[in-house]
Amino acid sequence: MDQGVYQQLLTVMKKRGGGYSGMDIPEFYALVEELFTPEEAAVNNALPRGLFTAGDLARELGRDAGELEAILESMATKGLCLAFKMNEVQFYQGARFMPGILEFQFMPGRSTDRDKKLARIIHAYKQAYDRKTDPATAAFPTTRVITVDRAVAAGNQVHT
């Protein structure tokens, strides 16, 4: 597989949306080449919207379901897609960069050399992305005041 698979990944990640969804800058390619093998990138590029099974994807791509399931499980373990069971059926779903893939990288709480390298690459990508956009401009208010015309008792309560 060639560099084209990562170019296609840029388009796919932009379509998925979310924060830092994808920008055609060198830092993007450094990030995705660290996160995805070329084969994982190709599978990621073929993921349908919403939930699917490995069998669904295999039929769509004309590939072996067992082979795709192994790739999807590896991707899920690496935090590159979502995987969960419902009624004993394994489902998968494509993930956005943020929220999603970028946070999933650090959820296990490891601090290996690769984790540190990945943190530097993600930081460089976010900084480069922010330089090319205006991150301070939000399309919606992030806070607002709602008047209730009465005192609201402050306190903490733990719920199940």
Residue 99, preceding peptide bond in cis (omega within 30° of 0) = yes
Three-state DSSP at 42 gives helix
With CA atoms as reference, report the closest residue to 94 among 5, 19, 1, 9.
Answer: 9
pLDDT at 1: 45
Residue 123 belongs to what domain range?
Answer: 4-132
pLDDT in tens, 15-50: 988 888 889 999 999 999 999 999 999 999 999 999
pLDDT in tens, 124-137: 999 999 998 876 66
In a domain, residue 38? The reply is yes
Domain count, the chain: 1
| Joined tokens for residue 39 | 């084969």
In a domain, residue 157? The reply is no
pLDDT in tens, 67-83: 999 999 999 999 999 99
In a domain, residue 141? The reply is no
Strands (E), the chain: 81-86, 89-94
In a domain, residue 40? The reply is yes
- Read off the CATH number of the domain in which 92 is found: 1.10.10.10
CA distance 34 to 9: 13
Average pLDDT over every residue of 78-105: 92
**Model confidence band, residue 63 (pLDDT cutoffs 50, 70, 90):** very high
Q: Given the structure tokens 């919403």, which residue do they identify?
A: 50
pTM for this one?
Answer: 0.76
In a domain, residue 139? The reply is no
Indicate whether 108 pLDDT > 90.
Answer: no
What is the crossing angle of helices 65-77 and 54-61, to 10°?
Answer: 120
**Please, what's the b/e burial string for 115-147 (b: 16 or more CB within 10 A of its CB; e: otherwise)?**
eeebeebbeebbebbeeeeeeeeeeeeeeeeee
In a domain, residue 56? The reply is yes
Q: Pick the residue with more confidence: 148 or 49?
A: 49
Maximum C-alpha span of the chain? 64
